[in-house]
A and B are shown apart, each in its own frame.
Chain A
Amino acid sequence: MNWEAVIGIECHVELKTQTKMFCGCPNEFGAEPNTNVCPVCLGMPGALPVPNRVAIEHMVRAGLAFGAEIPAFSKFDRKNYFYPDMPKDYQISQFDMPLTSGGEVKYWLDDGTMKSCRLTRIHLEEDTGKSSHAGSGDGRIAGSEYSLVDFNRAGVPLMECVSEPEIRSSQDAVAYLTSLRETLLQLDVSDVKMEEGSLRCDANVSIRPVGATELGTKTEIKNMNSFRSVQRAIDSEIRRQIETVEAGGRVVQETRGWDEARGETHSMRSKEEAHDYRYFPDPDLVPMELQGDDIERLRAGLAELPWQRFERLTGEYGLNVKQAGQLIDNARLAEYFDRVVTASRNPQQSTNFVLGDLSRLANESGVAVADSKASPDDIAELIAMVEAKTINSKIAKTLVERMWKGDGSPKAIVEREGLSQTSDPAAVETFVDDVLAANPNIVAEYRAGKTNVAGFLVGQIMKASRGKVDPALVNTVLKRKLE
């Protein structure tokens, strides 16, 4: 039987702000334990939350970037459950009226195809503190004897982003996450670093026979700490589910942890009786009614999004996926590239120089292309000279290195050193005549039928002209003279 995987991704993204969601404590990674805490984020008696305006704007900008609606009315709700690293034993979150609704993540695959996955919801909530578990040896909660809690992270603004189960493979899952991360980076609303926990994701995985419409029983995969482990975890879970079912067993709904070392998922807990979170509107906070002009102001501030850039580069400019990827990963390089293209109107050559020579020089020197002494206008000027055949590609390459060193604009260098290529037949003839006169016996061999010696003569002519003559012209002139 052929199986199809059905995958949904749930992400928690810490927003990039100076302070926490509901208090003035610093929102920073890696501070001394329990130093970034106050009455509010420790849930002390009498303390009250006041929402961080910037976090709300980050949410709206993210929503707009994903094409979500921004409802006129939105509110915060309390999600009630007890956990030691949750100071108030309820989480301020958003239940039925989040700041944004709908939306989709457009993402691209290695073969250049674009896909999109709709979002079930994006909402704003507060992060919990961090527990470390002692006594279990491996730091896992299972088998631990006690736990130690650090509340520095408690109250950090958190965006929860849940996708519809529209993803069909681990590759697509990673592509989805890549686009999500690139978008949030470009919006500058988060660092999205999995290693620092500012991006955390779980995957819901189920399988069903190809063509089936109803969903199979899903498992939730946790503890994936890199895109690579997301891909491996999903693949291994799909395999496990297929083996289970084909062996006559059935998949149980449960939470499974990814074990990087063993390369497999293990059961953490089977789905306990459904939680009764007792959501209700937080009476310490008042509703949000975002005004149309505020939303438009934020919309106007949005730049080109990664998936849009991908479409432009691969479509309009004909870059391949790898090249487009290089430019999406590096916003400053992309901006430099765009300026070269605008000035030169030659995407092909712009790609060659920016992603070829310049990027090579950047790697060798450790200086970013955008910071190099070769300005986009200089590169465009160079491209124009190549187009006009004023110089050949060989000279162009040396010019790029000279420009990188700061020797000035290509025109200046060429004029200073008379490097421009001659296409004037008369000038070429003198070179040819000189070389023929200097090599009578070679000329004799040629005339005797050893036509392959022509190559030697061309080389001599180029040498004599220090590469300034157009090789094509040389050939025609030479042939005429030898016949």
Chain B
Amino acid sequence: MGDFSIERGAADIARAVTAGSVSAADVVEAILSRVDAVDDAVGAYLTPLHDLARRTAANVDARIRTGERLPLAGVPLAVKDNMCLTGTRTTAGSKILEHWVAPYTATAVARLLHAGCVPIGKANLDEFAMGSSCENSALGVTRNPYDLVRVPGGSSGGSAAAVAALEATIALGSDTGGSIREPAAFCNLVGFKPTYGRVSRYGLIAFASSLDQIGPLTRSVEDAALTYDAMAGFDTMDATSVDREVEPSATALREDLRGLRIGLVRQFDTKLLGPEVDAAYRKAYDDLAACGAEIVEVSLPTADYGLATYYLIAPAECSSNLSRFDGVRYGLRVEAKDVQAMYEETRAAGFGPEVKRRILIGTHALSSGFYDAYYVRAQKARTLIARDFDKAFAGCDLIACPAASSPAFAFNAKSDPYSMYMMDYYTIPMSLAGLPALSVPCGWVTPPGGSVPMPLGLQLCAPQFAEPLLLGAAHAYERTTGHATQHSARVEAVSP
């Protein structure tokens, strides 16, 4: 194996593999031995894919030799396990799919493989992407590489942990109410949720169809932009994917924020952050100004209603989306005397408590007598929230706020569901409005009772389809603050 440093970024790796200075096979061997060394401690992967990774790497090297240009040549990829990959076990972190092997590949995954990525493994997640800590996975525990007694965030916790622990260079996550941005913040990564409809959902196991969106988790904004550019765009297999040209983002990266107005939301409650974290974010806003941005205050009167709106719409959609797990065609079945009993026993045994809670509340919100009071009212509130963002963006180019309500917390710290839901207080409104938003590392705090400093994430949000502007600005912030680059020093926490 060549002396390949597993900390190198995607852009760097693709250049090197394309130039032939390192082979995809060498890159992948280095990453796989890292996985073998640390994944017992981290638990990022539910299903490592050593054989497939080696076969794919050999194939990438062959394609390079034939002169093919691959924007992500040899880049090691972690795939959240709610995305289908032909011939691999795809579980959504649930007992009900524990042994299901996908017979087809998700469009987003297929596009990254076409671009030269090498799949290293299927990453852990909260069951059916429902959670903010990865603790809801029925199939494994994933730990935060920066402090193994803490959660990696969720639901894309395995994806975040894999990239943070250098068990992959980039990862795919899915974000419904914050499931990419929050774990990215917990693991000192860039986590990017594109505009709803920008990346095909075909092959993404649905949680809430009108909110789900696939996006990258990476160690740099540049890598996020490269990954996004390689998978964004209309897909004939997804009627909700948007048929609109994608302007490349990787070429739109900028070095400062001069000429940009960045809005801070007046109505967001900052008390739940606590003084120390709140201070860290104020420092981050100052840094934005220091990069040349004009900081303005904007108003989102309905922002506070995001959580309530989300916890009606998302469960309503999930209650219907998860009906198909019925023990008839695939997945778990608990045999019973008749088909109704088979359904009830199968779903009782196959789903965990959080999934059951959301199916039940969603079924309630859609049931006769409650539909208008809950589901329809939530959809109307969603309209108001989207309108507020439109108005706000008349006064600014980007909105800045926290990516999570706290840094990574310890396991079992959030026992009652609602306190867990509150983690997504700052990310849910953007999801409801379908806006592109990302989390970029913005500093460190040592949580109460904690032994080491934990990362914080700054959320930046742009109008629909303004991905180049959003990624460009995040890149400028990342370059001038350098928080992301403190990565290598810390990650030794899980070195063998």
Find out whether A and B make contact in their complex, taking CB atoms under 8 A apart as touching: yes
Of chain B, the residue at the smallest CB distance from A39 is B104
Does A46 contact B83, Cβ atoms closer than 8 Å? Answer: yes
* Structural contact, B103 and A46, CB atoms closer than 8 A: no
Q: Is the CB of A50 within 8 A of B343?
A: no
How many interface residues does A have (CB within 8 Å)?
Answer: 29
Does the CB pair A45–B210 fall under 8 Å? Answer: no
Distance in Å from the Cβ of B436 to the closest Cβ of chain A?
19
Task: Select which of B97, B100, B204, B240 is within 8 A of A283 by beta carbon.
Answer: B240
* Least CB separation from B317: chain A residue: A283
- Complex CA distance for A42 and B102, rounded to whole angstroms: 13
Chain B, range 233-275, C-beta contacts under 8 Å to A: 236-240
B92 & A284 in contact (Cβ 8 Å cutoff): no
Cβ of A49 under 8 Å from chain B: yes
What is the 8 Å Cβ interface bit string for chain B, positions 190-225, against chain A (1 contact, 0 not)?
000000000001111110111000000000000000
Interface residues of B (CB under 8 A from A): 82-84, 90, 92, 97, 100, 102-104, 106, 201-206, 208-210, 236-240, 316-317, 319-320, 323-326, 328-330, 339-340, 343, 363, 366-368, 371, 375
> Residue on B with the closest CB to A78?
B320
Docked complex Cα distance between A280 and B90 (Å)? 28
B204 touches A46 (CB 8 A): yes
Q: Does A235 contact B (CB under 8 A)?
A: no
Q: In angstroms, how far is the closest chain A Cβ from the Cβ of B123?
A: 16
Judge if A48 is at the interface, Cβ distance under 8 Å.
yes
Q: Which residues of A contact B371 (CB under 8 A)?
A: 278, 280
Q: Which residues does chain B contribute within 8 Å of A286, judged by CB atoms?
A: 239-240
A67-85 vs B, CB cutoff 8 Å, 1 = contact: the mask equals: 0000000000010101010
Decide: B240 and A284 in contact? CB cutoff 8 A: yes
Chain B residues near A82: list those with CB within 8 A. 323, 326, 340, 343
CB-nearest residue of chain A to B236:
A50
Q: A89-B323, A283-B317 are in contact. Are A48 and B201 (CB under 8 A)?
A: yes
> A48–B104 contact, CB under 8 A?
no
Kindly state whether residue A112 has any CB partner on chain B within 8 Å.
Answer: no
Decide if B368 touches A276 in the complex (CB within 8 Å). yes
Q: Does A336 contact B (CB under 8 A)?
A: no
Closest chain B residue, CB of each to CB of A274: B368
Taking a contact as CB atoms under 8 Å apart, the answer to whether A283 and B209 are in contact is: yes
**Are A87's CB and B329's CB within 8 A?**
yes
**Closest partner residue, chain A, to B340 (CB atom):** A82
Tell me the bound Cα distance from A88 to B104 in angstroms. Answer: 17
A31 contacts the other chain (CB 8 A): no
14 A-B residue contacts at CB 8 Å?
A39-B104, A43-B324, A44-B330, A45-B102, A46-B106, A46-B205, A50-B237, A50-B238, A87-B324, A87-B329, A278-B367, A280-B371, A283-B240, A284-B206
Kindly provide the distance from the CB of B176 to the nearest chain A CB, expressed in whole angstroms: 12
4 closest Cβ pairs, A-B complex: A89-B323, A278-B366, A283-B209, A283-B210
Is A51 on the interface with B (CB-CB < 8 A)? yes
Contact A48 B103 (CB under 8 A): no
Complex CA–CA separation, A45 to B331 (angstroms): 10
A317 contacts the other chain (CB 8 A):
no
Question: With A49-B239, A90-B320 in contact, do A149 and B204 touch (Cβ < 8 Å)?
Answer: no
Residues 35-72 of A at the B interface (beta carbon under 8 Å): 39, 42-51
Known: A50-B236, A50-B238. A45 touches B326 (CB 8 A): no
A285 interfacial by beta-carbon distance below 8 Å: yes
Q: A82-B323, A90-B323, A149-B328 are in contact. Are A45 and B100 (CB under 8 A)?
A: yes
Q: Are B326 and A89 in contact (CB under 8 A)?
A: yes
List 9 other contacts, CB 8 Å, given A84-B328, A284-B239.
A42-B329, A43-B324, A44-B330, A46-B203, A48-B201, A48-B238, A50-B239, A80-B366, A280-B375
Query: In the complex, which of the residues A50, A151, A285 has the most CB atoms of chain B within 10 Å of its own CB atom?
Result: A50
Q: Which residue of A lies closest to B343 (CB)?
A: A82
A48 touches B237 (CB 8 A): yes
Q: Mark A263-281, 1 if CB is under 8 A from B, else 0.
A: 0000000000000101010
Chain A residues near B320 (CB, 8 Å)?
78, 80, 90, 278, 280
Bound complex: CA A46 to CA B205 (Å): 4
**How far in angstroms is the closest Cβ of chain B from A50?**
5
A284, B200: Cα distance in complex, Å: 11
Name the A residues within 8 Å of B240 (CB-CB): 48, 283-286
Nearest A residue (CB) for B94: A45
A300-341 with Cβ < 8 A to chain B: none
Among A87, A283, A286, find the residue whose CB has the most chain B CB atoms closer than 10 A: A283
A46–B202 CB distance below 8 A: yes
Instruction: Decide: B323 and A80 in contact? CB cutoff 8 A.
Output: yes
**With a CB–CB cut-off of 8 A, which chain B residues contact A78?**
320
Contacts of B83 in A (CB 8 A): 46
Q: Is the CB of A46 within 8 A of B84?
A: yes
Give chain B residues whose Cβ lies under 8 Å from the Cβ of A39: 103-104
Q: Say yes or no: A48 contacts B323, CB within 8 Å.
A: no
B90 to chain A, nearest CB (A): 7
What residue of chain B has the Cβ atom nearest to residue A34's Cβ?
Answer: B329
Among residues 456 to 477 in chain A, which have CB atoms less than 8 Å away from a CB atom of chain B? Answer: none
Partner of A44, one of B103, B236, B340, B343: B103
Task: Name the distance in Å between B128's Cβ and chain A's nearest Cβ.
Answer: 9
Question: Chain A's nearest CB lies how many Å from the CB of B80?
Answer: 12
* Contact yes or no, A47 B366, CB < 8 A: no
Cβ contacts under 8 Å, A46 to chain B: 82-84, 90, 102, 106, 201-206
**Residue pair B202, A48 in contact (C-beta under 8 Å):** yes
> Nearest chain-B residue to A51 (Cβ)?
B239
Contact in complex: B209, A284 (CB < 8 Å): yes
Which A residues lie within 8 Å of B202 (CB)? Answer: 46-48
Q: A50-B237, A149-B328, A285-B239 are in contact. Are A45 and B323 (CB under 8 A)?
A: no
Closest approach, in angstroms, between the C-beta of A24 and any C-beta of chain B?
10
Give the CA-CA distance A460 to B367 in the complex, in Å: 93
CB–CB A280/B366 < 8 A: yes
Give CA–CA (A84, B375) in the complex, Å.
27
Nearest CB of chain B from residue A48's CB, rounded to whole Å: 5
- A391–B204 Cα distance when bound, in Å, is 80
